[in-house]
């Protein structure tokens, strides 16, 4: 029996809250899982501070009495929809304060825990799971949420510590991650391009009111879209996973509106930014986008076999009608 091509490869996707895994890189996770890779989602917090964003659940006794417990159930359903494994890292949701994060997040929350302490459970997870590739957020969190910013810092420190045999040996044998990527599903370039293509097609764009925000974020941090994964065939799995988070997603609301579904036709991929590459290959040119089509490109298996530098996934396809069956997130849609 021939094994699947990515059997023996492991991807660790580190996210801040339950539902982030379904709105950022979800179709990519589902694709790699279908090809034989083990995909582990590590969720930093329990989403305890999340509001009930679905009007249909506002009167739900369980949602109002135990949102943390309900979100755990939602997360299990979402992971199953993606074909992924899941682990809770164990930190407490910091919420989204209106003012200064340092002074207005509650004591003991994820954002307030020192990085060197907050990373410890993730170091153990990395050393136990032994991923070749890790995904996280950039230093601005993808958008300004305290837990997303913290997610970046803690992941980067944990990867470094996990490889150091002198750092917390009680947490397991050292393990060197070969590549780290930042999720860039919320890149300004992506949404501005979709907006412009919708207008060219004579369609009403749902992004007109967000253009200034997109441009502001692009000026604050210009994202390098080094890698795009052709994964439109897994958009339906992504959407099932996202809808599993019923407390957070209103299926009748803007997220699943017809215009946003149509917008997906113009961008049937998910994007990542290469942040660390220890594969030994020639460095990519940071001036050029879309140089990779495989997160595992140039990665070495445990048995010494090496993925080709160009990877094993096909080039990104031309957008097709099947992509229109999925929704398009905006920054406000994906906040936990």
Residue linked to tokens 């136990």: 128
Core vs surface per residue 14-37: b (16+ CB within 10 A) or e = bbbbbbbbbbbbbbbbbbbbbbeb
Dist CA 287 CA 291 (whole Å)? 10
Dist CA 193 CA 211 (whole Å)? 11
Residue 148 marked ligand-binding: yes
DSSP string for residues in 106-161: PTTSGGGS-HHHHTHHHHHHHHHH--SEEEE--TT-SSS-HHHHHHHHHHHHHHHH
Dist CA 219 CA 147 (whole Å)? 22
Residue 20 marked ligand-binding: yes
Q: How far is CA 117 from the centre of its chain?
A: 23
308 backbone φψ class: left, alpha, beta (φ>0; ψ -120 to 50)? beta
Dist CA 274 CA 15 (whole Å)? 17
| Binding site feature residues for Zn(2+) | 17, 20, 148
| Binding site feature residues | 17, 20, 148
């Amino acid at each position: 029996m021939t094994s699947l091509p990515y059997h023996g490869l492991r991807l660790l996707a580190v996210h801040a809250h339950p539902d982030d895994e379904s709105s950022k890189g979800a179709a990519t996770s589902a694709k790699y899982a279908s090809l034989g890779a083990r995909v582990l989602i590590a969720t930093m917090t329990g989403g305890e501070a999340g509001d009930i964003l679905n009007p249909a659940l506002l009167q739900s006794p369980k949602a109002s009495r135990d949102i943390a417990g309900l979100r755990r159930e939602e997360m299990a359903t979402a992971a199953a929809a993606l074909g992924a494994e899941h682990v809770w890292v164990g930190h407490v949701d910091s919420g989204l304060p209106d003012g200064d994060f340092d002074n207005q997040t509650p004591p003991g929350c994820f954002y307030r825990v020192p990085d060197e302490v907050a990373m410890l459970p993730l170091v153990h997870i990395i050393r136990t799971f032994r991923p070749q590739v890790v995904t996280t957020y950039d230093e601005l969190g993808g958008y300004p949420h305290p837990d997303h910013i913290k997610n970046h810092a803690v992941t980067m420190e944990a990867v470094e510590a996990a490889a150091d045999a002198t750092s917390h040996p009680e947490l397991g044998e050292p393990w060197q991650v070969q590549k780290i990527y930042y999720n860039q599903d919320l890149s300004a370039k992506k949404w501005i391009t979709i907006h412009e293509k919708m207008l060219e097609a004579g369609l009403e764009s749902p992004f007109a009111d967000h253009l200034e925000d997109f441009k502001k974020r692009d000026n604050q941090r210009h994202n390098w879209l080094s890698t795009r994964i052709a994964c439109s065939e897994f958009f339906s799995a992504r959407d099932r996973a996202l809808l599993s988070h019923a407390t957070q997603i209103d299926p009748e609301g803007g997220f699943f509106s017809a215009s946003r579904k149509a917008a997906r036709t113009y961008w049937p991929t998910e994007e990542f930014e290469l942040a660390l590459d220890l594969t030994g290959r020639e460095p990519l040119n940071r001036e050029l986008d879309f140089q990779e089509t495989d997160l595992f490109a140039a990665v070495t298996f445990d048995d010494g076999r090496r993925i080709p530098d160009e990877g094993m996934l096909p080039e990104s396809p031309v957008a097709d009608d099947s992509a229109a069956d999925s929704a398009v997130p905006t920054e406000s849609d994906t906040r936990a």
